[in-house]
């Protein structure tokens, strides 16, 4: 089955700089994310190019909203922006030609423009240099009457289900074959954190390789290969632990 994927993460102002460095590929080395292939980074592209640094983009919009509606105050602990990721099941995108992959993200952007206001989106960049193409989109959660309120825009079980229903309908209209997954609000499961998903994926690939090596072990060289620095049992246990942890979320 193939799914259109839309995820939100609420952020306060502090992480803006670190997120910008990742989204905009401003670092020379990404030790925490070995999935990045720097030879493919040139394939990344913006659908919305930020004019300022992320923090400046955020503050500019908030200050403008306060001028237009000065009676509403912004608390220090308010959510300042939403870090959004848009993608699809890897196998689905892998089958699409490059121009259709681009159109997929452009179509998703049209949806988000309509839902959160084009003027509130300050960056939308498509990453083609990781295992699965995806778009990072950041927006300031301002309501129509110029209040900063992430809660009003996306909080609550019914609201999140509505978001996912509308997103699926929008994407499936142009990209047939996309299924509507069972809502996390219904299953009560949390989304698997990105770091856990990637780590589990890498271990799964490593376990597959090791299992193939085991099948090749013959009677005469079994002891020699079992003394390899990589411990098969430890790798299998680690992978199983991660899968169990992911399944419990």
Query: Does the global pTM surpass 0.95?
Result: no
Mean pLDDT of 92-102: 95
Q: Can you read off the two tokens belonging to residue 164? A: 């996912």
Q: pLDDT for 55-86, tens place per residue?
A: 999 999 999 999 999 988 888 889 999 999 99
**Angle at which helices 232-247 and 194-216 cross, to 10°:** 140
Provide the β-strand partners of residue 8: 84
Q: pLDDT for 206-229, tens place per residue?
A: 666 666 666 666 545 555 555 444
Provide the β-strand partners of residue 198: none
pLDDT band (50, 70, 90) for residue 96: very high
pLDDT band (50, 70, 90) for residue 15: confident
Is residue 45 scored above 50 in pLDDT? yes
- Cα dihedral 41, 56, 112, 193 sign: positive
- Cα dihedral 142, 143, 147, 150 sign: negative
Provide the β-strand partners of residue 86: 6, 135
pLDDT at res. 246: 41
CB 191 within 8 A of CB 246: no
Q: Can you read off the two tokens belonging to residue 72? A: 């509403």
């Amino acid at each position: 089955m193939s799914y259109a994927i839309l995820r939100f993460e609420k952020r306060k102002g502090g992480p803006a700089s670190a997120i910008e460095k990742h989204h905009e590929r401003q670092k020379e080395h990404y030790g925490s994310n070995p999935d990045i292939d720097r030879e493919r980074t040139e394939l990344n592209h913006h659908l919305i190019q930020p004019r300022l640094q992320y923090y400046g983009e955020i503050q500019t919009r908030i200050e403008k909203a306060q001028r237009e509606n000065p009676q509403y105050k912004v608390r220090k602990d308010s959510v300042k922006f939403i870090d959004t990721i848009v993608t699809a099941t890897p196998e689905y995108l892998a089958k699409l030609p490059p121009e259709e992959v681009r159109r997929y993200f452009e179509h998703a952007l049209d949806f988000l423009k309509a839902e959160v206001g084009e003027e509130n989106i300050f960056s939308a960049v498509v990453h083609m240099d990781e295992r699965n193409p995806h778009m990072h989109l950041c927006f300031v959660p301002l309501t129509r009457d110029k209040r900063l309120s992430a809660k009003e825009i996306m909080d609550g079980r019914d609201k999140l289900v509505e978001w996912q229903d509308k997103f699926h309908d929008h994407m499936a209209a142009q990209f047939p074959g996309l299924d509507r997954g069972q809502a996390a609000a219904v299953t009560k499961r949390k989304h698997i954190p990105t770091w856990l998903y990637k780590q589990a994926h890498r271990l799964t690939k490593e376990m597959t390789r090791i299992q193939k090596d085991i099948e090749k072990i013959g009677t005469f060289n079994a002891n020699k290969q079992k003394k390899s620095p990589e411990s098969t049992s430890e790798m299998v246990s680690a992978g199983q632990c991660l899968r169990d942890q992911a399944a419990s979320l």
